[in-house]
Structure 1
Amino acid sequence: MQEENINLERTAIIKGDLKYTNIGQIIKSSFFKKLIKTFIKELEVKKSYLIKTLEPFQNENGDFNEREFIDFIYLLNINSLEEIIRSGYFDIQMTYEEYSQLFLGFLEGFYNYWRGIQRFMIKMDGYSPDEGTKRSKAFSLISNNDAFKKMVLDLYRNIHFNVTGKGVRIYRQLPSGAQVAFLADYFEFDREAKSKNDSLYQIPYIWEAIFEPPVIFYTQSNKREGVFPVKDKRILQKFYLASDEWFAIPLKVGRLLSIVYVQKEYMALGAGLFNLFEMATPEEFTKQKPDSVVFFGLDESIFDEDEKLGFVTKEDDVYYGLIPDLAQIDYFGYMKKILLTLHNVIQIEMKALPIHGAFAKIRVGGRKSANIMLIGDSGAGKSETLEAINKLPREMACDFDILIDDMGSLHFNKEGELMAVGTEVGAFVRLDDLQPGYAYSTMDRSIFMNPNIANARVIVPQMTYEEISKSTRVDFIFYINNYEKIDDEVPAIEIFEDLNAAYDVFSEGKRMAKGTTGEVGLTNTYFANPFGAVQMKEEHEKIARKTFKKMKEIGVQVGMIRTQLGIPGCEQDGPYIAAQELIRFIDKTNSEKL
């Protein structure tokens, strides 16, 4: 493990091509030395009493002898602390009882410090289209990470025993290796697939991902602010991606091919993409030019003042999203929404209507079904209303399949039917808004982001790519209203008779902000969609009015569902009531027979 491959303040990149067979590979590495240095710096900043642990390894000027301390740890792995003190090899003036308690605190702090870092293992391994070969390479990486994890656990346990002289009665196999492991390779690209920045083809492209659940990441920010402006500027020649600093993640965002270039400090956000989007294969991304490209973590000096949270531009028929290297954008919402903004801008260019909503096939009583589109901004209650269906009484005999969780597009097929296409195979949702226990029931495949602070999130896979990428007929469209309380005069579900009134509600995009973005209180966002629709409002409005007019002509009903999610005290009951009324509504309609 080489020091230049890691930054242990937030992220550790562990070399995955090593087979870890002895503890010396860890203790004697530059990787371990840097970890010690960084931990000591943290203790100094906190003015921790544990700094006293280092006194025996300081000279008369107070300079710390790092090499001597590393030797001490190496010996402590195989000898008891009492024997080491008695030998006099190190200048430990305290008694065994005093120093053992002090060092035990240092050990626990150091171990927890390591486990609190975002840990990734990267193995450079040649891609093969053969499925058997790919499995073999994945198993090899899994084995290497297992061996590394065992070495870390063994080191901790050996030292703990040699400090205390006591074994433990309960062994906890705490996650101590890499949280996510990647197989990556360098690829040759067809000329027509390449852009004018050659550095994009000199960095590793990830072609396989392996997760060690539970995967929990803590980021520097927990909310998203603003929108990404769409600019007309050429940017490809303004930066260079260093091959030891960046990784490429090829994806399918709906039917579009996208490549995300991630600076290594933001690999936690990059890892989240594997639960949210379908991976693109080398056979796809090396042969064709991508529809969109994201650069996440570029030097902020190339950004203008109004671009500090990122921006979108088009160059040589490809849309690009650029995000600066800033602490405030270290939040998965920025990663997800820049990709979806690019998707939506492309849809508008293709004359399709991008929608910010959830889409589900809901079945009732084994007799009726309807494909329901729920449109609304973040925190309106789209996903929460659908999830509440799972809590309804069994006698209502209802279930659903999610086809779009957050973003998609609408178009009309040759037969004139309104059709929807999705973008994501997973969901990025607030823990607080899910039914109790749901996220934990999916812990073995979820990625948790900041689980113990405000706006805690989980990224969980839900659908197959085949489901979200095909065109599916839309039966009903509802605007999600989270700010009005229902009563005898204000129903949970309302169908619009007036096309203009319906258009005005959708266009106004009103909602009660719930802290998922930088907004608070009652807000308005054009078509509840700050991801492309706002930036290209003139073009979007032409498509939207044409779509609404044709929906009325073909009989697609348009309405509003009041979830009450933004009303204090209604966070759980509101979506439940909305789900209950939605099922009753479907049951009363002449929906498609199952």
Structure 2
Amino acid sequence: MPKESQIIDTKSLYINPDRGVATLNYSQNYFTDIPSLINSDELKAVVKLYLASRNPDHDDDAFDNASANKFIDILKKVLFNDDSAFDEYDPKDILESVEELYSYYRSFLRVSVINFNDNKILGNEFRTVDTQFNDLVRKAYRILEEKLQGFENRTYRQVNAATNATVLVQQHDWQIPEGYDELQDIDFINTVMLRPPMMMHTKSNKREGVFSEVKENPIKRFHGQRGKWYCYPAKIGESLAFIYFNVDYLVNGIALSNLFELASPDEIEGQKPDMILLFGLEKTEGMVSHYYRDEKNNMWIGEVPYTDKTTYFGYMKKMCLTLHNLHQIYNGRLPIHGSMLKIKFTNGKEKNVVFFGDSGAGKSESIEALQELADDKIVSMETIFDDMGSFTLTDGEPGVYAQGTETGAFVRLDDLSSAVAFNNMDRGVYLNPEQKNARVIIPADTYQNVIKHHHIDMWLYANNYSDEVGIHRFDTKEEAEKVFIAGQRKALGTTDEVGMSKTFFANPFGPVQEPELTKPIINKVFTKLFDQGVYVGEIFTHLGNDKSKDALKESAQELLDVLMNN
């Protein structure tokens, strides 16, 4: 945990510089004019943080060596045209410090919070309230800037001066099982407003290890306080998940809104969730991520420890999906690690294609290659799921149907074609965009389409290790099962693995944890698909050996020919 001295923690303002996050509680304090803002304790606290972040030994700006009180006093004089501000400091030095302070504050992820239970009138207008505060901060900055530089600007940039996002929170009366009383006071997120594109940073940029089961319920270690923890109630597929996160994981919690559908109050009131995730526990067993099956209450409980490593968004997403997949397996459904597309071609054909494989196998790259090759032959390409879905067996037609889990896509920036990346830029949440394994979360489909019962026309294993080119259809169920269950791939550095690896059913998020329960479901699904003549095969992506993607384009061309002509 960070040192208390490095954190601002009042009723109305929380800032943790170590994690780069800030919350502004409008229900506790809200400013409507520049005098109240400039005289506020909140601004003084931010100025103190800023000044403490400067290095006086290497800082030639004398104004940055002033006390917080002196710093603010000078700003007041500038705002109200008192020229005595320049008796001690040069306007250029003051301006440089103002610019640096403005940039320093905006380097945080800043989220305003309004409690709907405290003020329903304010809550109904929360977007307007937040916009007005952004306007106020921007106006104060511009007045200072123009007075100090001595002329009006000719170019104005409408940056998010005060906040990047705002959330409306409230309490809910849900079915709290015995032993879960500590969760009662934690606010649920009701509504989220993002100001994309959002560029956010975390201290870690890679996921490691596999989530394992524990025999003691992690809820026993939860002692979170209201305002220091929030709950994102997510609909993951048809599962209801209560995702509780420590405020220092605000980057992850806000990013969820671009990935999972937010449950409505009616879907929460009086309900018991299928799964609960406690993200950011200070004391966990071995300081690694675990899950627990609460058989008595028929719930899955996940825990992720408070460490720098777990700031990577992949931990939150994958633990959510692990809990969901375990829930699916115990209900006789088969979790699928892959992507599903509904493609409509200009020749009238329509095909539902599932790409299957572990991280880095080439699922996303195959889709991109297909899209680039077939741009003039495709009417539409709808993403049913981008990373995780499930197959459900039925007695009648279609025999097996597929559903998704997420309404958004969490993808590597390097995997996106420039067209897709730029077309979605203004809707994206970007995580560590300048680093290796940079990611973006973009909306992909509506929740209604994700959970529809989709038939399957083709199921392809993404093979990134073979020297072959094109696609290959398996002749027998046994041949297909062997490849899919082996889950082979060449790791590409998106996790902690390197070189050739095997993962049971290419899915370390559920099937690996319960292989004996999963095997009979796998067998039934393959039997049904082969009985119905569904194309089950593999696509050779070559990404484990060939970074040029030329071979992948050849494979995508063969796939396109099969899809359009069969």
TM-score (norm 1): 0.88
Q: 2:390 aligns with which of 398, 409, 423?
A: 409
Conserved 8 A contact 1:275-1:425: yes
2:378 aligned with 1:376: no
Question: SS where residue 102 of structure 1 aligns?
Answer: helix
Aligned to 1:246: 229
Equivalent residue, structure 1, for 2:309 = 328
Mapped partners of 2:182, 2:375: distance in 1: 57
Is it true that 1:570 corresponds to 2:548 in the alignment?
A: yes
Q: Alpha carbons of 1:433 and 1:343: their partners in 2 closer, same or farther (altered >3 Å)? A: same
> Which residue is 2:477 aligned to?
499
Offset, 1:66:
2.9
Of 105, 109, 119, the match for 1:114: 105
* Contact 1:371-1:476 at 8 Å conserved across structures: yes
One-letter amino acid matched to 1:447: V
- Alignment check: 8 A CA contact 1:321 1:338 kept: yes
SS in 2 for 1:265: helix
Structure 2 distance, partners of 1:207, 1:497, is 50
Separation of aligned partners in 1, 2:140 and 2:366: 48
- In the alignment, is residue 3 of structure 1 matched against residue 5 of structure 2? no
Q: Distance in 2 between matches of 1:50 and 1:125?
A: 47
Residue deviations 1:304-333 (CA, integer Å, cap 9, x gap): 22xx33111122321011111111111111
Equivalent-residue separation in structure 2 for 1:513 and 1:338 (angstroms): 20
- Is the aligned partner of 1:477 residue 2:478? no
Partner of 1:162: 147
TM-aligned CA distance change 1:491 to 1:440, over 3 Å:
closer
SS in 2 for 1:545: helix
Q: CA deviation at 1:471?
A: 1.6
**What is the SS of the residue equivalent to 1:221?**
coil
How far the C-alpha of 1:159 sits from its partner, in A, is 1.9
Alignment partner, residue 61 of structure 1? none
Match of 2:213 in 1: 230
* Structure 1 unpaired stretches of 5+: 58-64, 87-91, 590-594
Distance verdict in 2 for CA 1:25–1:508, change over 3 Å: farther
Assess if the C-alpha contact under 8 Å between 1:389 and 1:398 holds in 2.
no
Residue 543 of structure 1 pairs with residue 521 of structure 2:
yes
361, 365, 369: which one aligns with 1:388 = 369
Q: CA deviation at 1:397?
A: 4.2
2:50 is equivalent to residue 39 of structure 1? yes
Map 1:108-507; keep pairs closer than 5 Å: 108-126=99-117, 140-189=125-174, 192-299=175-282, 301=283, 303-305=284-286, 308-315=287-294, 316-397=297-378, 399-415=380-396, 417-485=399-467, 490-507=468-485
Q: Is the 8 A contact 2:63 2:71 kept in 1?
A: no
1:532 corresponds, among 510, 514, 520, to 510
Which residue identity lines up with residue 478 of structure 1 in the other structure?
L
Name the structure 1 match of 2:23: 13
| 2:3 alignment counterpart | none
Q: Deviations over 1:76-130 (max 9, x none)?
A: 22226x54233xxxxx3xxx5xx333333322221111111010010011399xx
- What secondary structure sits across from 1:336 in the alignment? helix
| Unmatched 5+ stretches in structure 2 | 1-7
In 2, Cα distance between the equivalents of 1:587 and 1:523? 34
- 1:173 shift after superposition: 1.5
1:553 aligns with 2:538: no
Change (3 A) 1:338 1:512: same
SS at match of 1:494: strand
CA separation in 2, counterparts of 1:209 and 1:397? 34
Q: Which amino acid aligns with 2:288?
A: L
Q: Distance between the aligned counterparts of 2:317 and 2:50, measured in 1?
A: 32
| Cα 1:253/1:574, change in 2 over 3 Å | farther
Q: 1:498 to 1:162 in 2, by over 3 A?
A: same
Q: Is the 8 A contact 2:111 2:163 kept in 1?
A: yes
- Give 1:245 deviation, angstroms: 0.3
Q: Check whether the contact 1:78–1:158 (CA below 8 A) recurs between aligned residues.
A: no
Q: Is the 8 A contact 2:336 2:507 kept in 1?
A: yes
- Whichever residue aligns with residue 452 of structure 2, its letter is K
| 1:47-90 Cα shifts (integer Å, max 9, x gaps) | 441563244x4xxxxxxx4323322222222226x54233xxxx
